[in-house]
Structure 1
């Protein structure tokens, strides 16, 4: 991979983890009563629409690939959807009890890559098979690793965009899960996903998102507008 030393200008394909902005639901009745925002709401149907009550579809959900070492330096990768950017150079995600959770607790580091159209079979495999049951699942998927030179975690060579991260906070729950915030130390990208100016081109990367409405993966890549630009047509109309 070609080093892409712009850690503060990295690309994330997902949205901010909604759960990271709120409090956990595992609270006492007293705490719930003290906080009006946690009180149970009587849900009323919105007319003219199909109503699903509190069943939520949050989109887009990134298909992030979290790579870690265990205590024996065996590499592990899992797919997670509940994650995203939470600052200029920070990423957050929430995990239940997994081997990945244990590895992050141990090493205080991880790498993040993104599932793409070209590797969706392997990426989904990493999401359905536990490293506790298949310790060599990275090799079984036909993937290879390079130790990160910056953090105590593996880089998966077949993923063309990788963030090397150190743990900032690891808020563990009583069931062995955790809410993690990591700081991106470095980002590296394969030259095949760069445009002529050396920037990352999502059209070439073809990352996927998790469609929680239908349990499917969907490709990201088509340009539909310009950030801080497309909306100017309304501004210009208002001026006239």
Structure 2
């Protein structure tokens, strides 16, 4: 049996991203966003929903670029705080002890302390109601070297990304891996053993 909760912004898990942008005066800003995710493979694109009243909203439109810094779970309090103050009147990089680094390809800053960073060019945006959905084309992915596996690939356990549960409004981290994608389900798909 299911209980109907009505229309809610619900998906599990949601990422806890730090969105970086420069305002019209060139000041670096970050904000927390969880309404986000991968939306295309070729070209690689990530989308993020940002409320119209957020300081970052117009900055992204003006600069046509943004970054996504992926905080680790041990940065939960700082990442949460980045969504509680406005860049209009607060230098959140300074307040939260993050170091702003100018993107090498996108006209936007990222947080040097985060284990993973995406630089994005604004590809398109859509007004959906309370939020604008910004679709950014990924220009580069930067991973801290200590967060790479032996094959040079991003290791989720080492990155330990911060996750968010929208309805309960709680932060989470990753659990144990369950198996390899496109292999774990082979038997269930009738494609033989994995």
TM-score (norm 2): 0.90
Partner of 2:55: 99
Corresponding position of 1:57: 10
Which of 80, 87, 93 matches 2:33?
Answer: 80
Which runs of 5 or more structure 1 residues have no equivalent in the other structure?
1-47
C-alpha separation between the residues in 2 aligned to 1:188 and 1:157? 10
Could you tell me whether the CA contact under 8 Å between 1:144 and 1:156 is conserved in 2? yes
Judged with a 3 Å threshold, the aligned counterparts in structure 2 of structure 1 residues 56 and 67 are, in CA distance, closer, same or farther, namely closer
Contact 2:186 2:192 in 1 (8 A): no
Residue 67 of structure 2 is aligned to residue 133 of structure 1: no
For structure 2, the residue ranges without an aligned partner over 5 or more in a row are none
More helix, by proportion: 1
Over 3 Å counting, the alpha-carbon distance change for 1:237 and 1:169 in structure 2 is: closer
Secondary structure at 1:179 match in 2: strand
Between the aligned partners of 2:34 and 2:102, the Cα distance in structure 1 is 24
Q: Name the counterpart of 2:132.
A: 178
- Deviation string, structure 1 residues 100-141 (Cα, Å, up to 9, x no partner): 10110110001112232121111011011111131x121111
Larger radius of gyration, structure 1 or 2? 1
Partner of 1:200 in structure 2? 154
- Give the structure with the higher percent strand: 2
Match of 2:117 in 1: 162
Question: What CA distance in whole angstroms lies between the structure 2 residues aligned with 1:234 and 1:173?
Answer: 38
Aligned residues: 190
